[in-house]
């Protein structure tokens, strides 16, 4: 079965072709980062308009890359939610119009299910069950995943998502939007011993997390440092980035290990944009190796939003005859309410 996947939930237009026999055949992405950078964040109306411009050309590029035509498609999958209403409507309209015109099924995919299943596009891929650490710009959750659609939330952030904390802290340090990846690059050159920031809820019994206090702690540190040093110099900025990353990574690694202990599971799957963070990957790999646990990641290019994860999740839902939703969008959508196959 050949599935076209379309992702338009936020500021990336992603289109991909996934074949249930041959695997991922093509994957094209356009990021709107540069367009939103001058506003310091995503402008929803501009995002929607840009998705309109990009969706069809990206689809044509995907078909060309795979040497296929529209007639070869067996189904179309699109991100139904959660995300920006207007942006989602673009993907929903393109997908439904295409599917209607071609007389093939269409399936609305949950964006987080896409992220959650994206490590299954890697080789080797994890078997069920596993603990999933979902760390994106909008969500931070630890989940017990027993199978497709069998998602049990073990813990989640009580305030900011991990990616949001990266982005807000980066903004506070004067880095351009979206600051997460740049903050993490600067952190690599920072001194981990110069500053220490709090590890919120590190030793709490629950698997819940909280990251908004960390951002406030960075603000306090910046103000104090400015009072003593005057302007923040490049070295100090890198050291603050490092202190922030050390704190957030320690919380994510500790909570993930606790979730594995609590469930007795041996496999951890990491998904979402922050899963691209090198220090997080190194921290999880080291901790897991010491305990005989396995950690799985999506291919690096599929950590952030993309069409491949939507095509894959759509293909899984269709092959199990358990579509999660059809025409329409769901800007707010709880992952645990998805149907079980």
Known binding-site residue numbers for Fe cation: 111, 115, 305
By rule CB under 6 A, what string of x and - marks binding of each residue 212-251 to ligand KG4?
----------------------------------------
Tell me: does residue 181 bind ligand KG4 (CB under 6 A): yes
Smaller CB distance to ligand KG4: residue 266 or 281? 281
Cβ distance 51 to 2 under 8 Å?
A: no
Candidates 202, 216, 277; CA nearest to 247 is 202
Cβ distance 215 to 170 under 8 Å?
A: no
Judged by CB under 6 A, the residue of 163, 190, 298, 314 near ligand KG4 is 163
Pairing of strands 294-296, 267-271: parallel
Q: Give the tokens for residue 122.
A: 């890697």
Tell me: does residue 305 bind ligand KG4 (CB under 6 A): yes
Rg (the chain; Cα; Å) = 20
Candidates 234, 244, 177; CA nearest to 42 is 177
Smaller CB distance to Zn ion: residue 115 or 267? 115
Residue with tokens 């356009």: 30
Q: What is the spatial distance between Cα 167 and Cα 181, in angstroms, rounded to a whole number?
A: 9
CA atoms 177, 180, 185, 191: torsion sign: positive
Tell me: does residue 263 bind ligand KG4 (CB under 6 A): no
Tell me: does residue 284 bind ligand KG4 (CB under 6 A): no
Taking contact as CB under 6 A, which single stretch among the options 34-42, 43-51, 133-141, 261-269 is the one that binds ligand KG4? Answer: 133-141
Tell me: does residue 305 bind Zn ion (CB under 5 A): yes
By rule CB under 5 A, what string of x and - marks binding of each residue 121-140 to Zn ion?
---------------x----
Feature table: binding site = 111, 115, 134-138, 167, 180, 277, 305
Residues found near Zn ion in the complex (CB under 5 A) = 136, 305
């Amino acid at each position: 079965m050949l599935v076209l996947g379309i992702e338009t939930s936020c500021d990336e237009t992603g289109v991909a072709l996934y074949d249930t026999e041959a695997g991922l055949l093509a994957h094209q992405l356009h990021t709107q980062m540069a367009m939103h950078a001058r506003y310091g964040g995503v402008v929803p109306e501009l995002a929607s308009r840009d998705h309109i411009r990009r969706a069809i050309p990206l689809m044509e590029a995907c078909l060309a890359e795979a040497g296929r035509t529209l007639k070869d498609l067996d189904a179309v999958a699109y991100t139904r939610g959660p995300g920006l209403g207007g942006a989602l409507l673009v993907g929903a309209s393109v997908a439904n119009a295409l599917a209607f015109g071609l007389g093939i099924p269409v399936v609305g995919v949950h964006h987080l299910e896409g992220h959650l299943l994206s490590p299954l596009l890697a080789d080797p891929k994890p078997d069920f069950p596993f603990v999933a650490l979902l760390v994106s710009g909008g969500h931070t959750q630890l989940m017990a995943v027993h199978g497709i659609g069998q998602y049990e939330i073990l813990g989640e952030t009580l305030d900011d998502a991990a990616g949001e904390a990266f982005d807000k802290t980066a903004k506070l340090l004067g880095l351009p939007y979206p600051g997460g990846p740049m903050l993490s690059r600067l952190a690599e050159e920072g001194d981990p011993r110069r500053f220490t920031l709090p590890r919120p809820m590190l030793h709490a019994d629950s698997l819940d997390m909280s990251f908004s206090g960390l951002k406030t702690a960075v603000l306090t540190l910046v103000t104090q440092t400015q009072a003593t040093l005057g302007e923040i110099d490049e070295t100090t900025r890198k050291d603050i980035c490092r202190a922030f990353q050390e704190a957030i990574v320690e919380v994510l690694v500790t909570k993930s290990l606790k979730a594995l202990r609590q469930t007795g599971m041996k496999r951890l799957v990491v998904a979402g944009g922050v899963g691209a963070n090198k220090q997080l990957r190194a921290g999880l790999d080291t901790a897991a190796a010491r305990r005989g646990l396995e950690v799985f990641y999506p291919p690096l290019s599929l950590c952030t939003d993309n069409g491949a994860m939507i095509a894959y999740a759509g293909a899984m839902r269709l092959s199990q005859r358990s579509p999660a939703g059809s025409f329409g969008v769901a800007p707010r959508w709880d992952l645990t309410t998805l149907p079980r196959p």
